Amino acid sequence: MRKFLIVFGIVVAVSVVVTAVILLFLNGMADRLETLVGDMRPVDVGQLEDGTYTGSFEDSAVGATVEVTVEDGRIVAVDVVEQQASPGYQARETVERIEAAQSPQVEAVSGATWSSHSIILAVYRALNAR
């Protein structure tokens, strides 16, 4: 019985350490995303030439590649070409918000914050890749 308790204690201790490391990793990623989104400067879409702009963003557990189509100084389409996200967190509403606001500076979708931020940052990079 003593041997079992020792093994059980080791398993519990390892589980606690692994969980703590994962939480610290995810918290660091969340902080990086918040900082990057917060540091974005306004983009004057009206100054962009007509065309399709490609941008991408990737950080640990999330990422996105987008194509942003600009016509007559307006964002007419945002297509998510590729997205690295948890199942069900494709954040389609983020694309709709960007198209409606004509800017990547929109609120993240509740429940899909990290996925939203990856799309927002990919669009921002696309529009700034001149």
pLDDT in tens, the chain (130 residues): 888 889 888 999 999 888 888 777 777 778 888 888 889 999 999 999 999 999 999 987 889 999 999 999 999 999 999 998 765 566 789 999 999 999 999 999 988 888 999 999 999 999 998 6
CA–CA dist 9, 77 (Å, integer): 55
Q: Residues 42, 48, 51, CA angle at the centre, nearest 5°? A: 130
Q: Are 98 and 62 in contact (CB under 8 A)?
A: no
Q: Tell me which residue of 96, 99, 101, 97 sits closest to 42, measured CA to CA.
A: 101
> What would be the CATH architecture of the domain defined by 1-130?
Alpha-Beta Complex (3.90)
Measured in Å, how far apart are the chain's first and last C-alpha atoms? Answer: 68
C-alpha distance from residue 130 to each of 6, 41, 79 (Å): 61, 15, 19
For the chain, give every domain's residue range: 1-130
